[in-house]
């Protein structure tokens, strides 16, 4: 007689409830970390989408603007919309960095580079822990757009 049959015979021949306990233990050990990983990767992918869209939009609206003051405001608005669309509440003035290859910035033939950075906090980490230990992943995207070479010399 095998060892398992001997244990079953000693327990009165019953094996009820063991499968449920084993399933719950397996779920706790494997499924919960996998679910957390999926949630974290989902937020990181959303941040990649948001920063890419924000950088592309900010660079485009900047080079198509009539003057530099309007261009900066439009770039901030585009960044805010793209980040907000994916559920990020980062301040666009902190998230966006614009650089130009020419001075003034909208000179024909110049290029404008927009870099957008978003902080992705790890899910389910309480705020008081985040205050002490930085538990976020920075995600950034860079996009360069050319100022039209034949535009009127404004800016």
This prediction has a pTM of 0.79
pLDDT on residue 134: 83
Which of 106-138 are b and which e, b meaning 16 or more Cβ less than 10 Å from the residue's Cβ?
bbeebbbbbbbbbebeeeeeeeeeeeeeeeeee
Give the Cα separation of 8 and 111 in Å (integer): 78
pLDDT on residue 83: 96
pLDDT on residue 123: 87
Flag residues of the chain having pLDDT under 70.
1, 4-17, 152-155
Q: Are 108 and 117 in contact (CB under 8 A)?
A: no
pLDDT on residue 22: 82
| Burial class of residue 60, CB neighbours in 10 A (0-12, 13-18, 19+) | middle
pLDDT tens-place string over residues 105-142: 888 989 999 999 999 998 888 888 888 888 899 999 99
Collapsing DSSP to helix, strand or coil, 12 comes out as coil
């Amino acid at each position: 007689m095998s060892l398992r049959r001997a244990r079953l015979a000693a327990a009165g021949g019953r094996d009820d409830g063991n499968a449920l306990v084993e399933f719950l233990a397996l779920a706790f050990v494997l499924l919960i970390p996998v679910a957390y990983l999926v949630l974290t990767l989902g937020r990181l992918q959303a941040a990649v989408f948001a920063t890419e869209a924000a950088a592309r939009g900010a660079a485009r609206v900047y080079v198509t603007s009539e003057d530099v003051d309007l261009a900066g405001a439009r770039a901030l608005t585009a960044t805010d919309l793209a980040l907000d669309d994916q559920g990020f509440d980062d301040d666009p003035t902190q998230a966006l960095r614009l650089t130009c290859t020419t001075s003034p910035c909208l000179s024909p033939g110049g290029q404008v580079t927009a870099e957008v950075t978003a902080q992705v906090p790890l899910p389910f980490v309480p705020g008081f822990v985040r205050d002490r230990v930085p538990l976020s992943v920075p995600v950034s995207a860079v996009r360069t757009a050319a100022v039209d070479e034949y535009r009127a010399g404004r800016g």
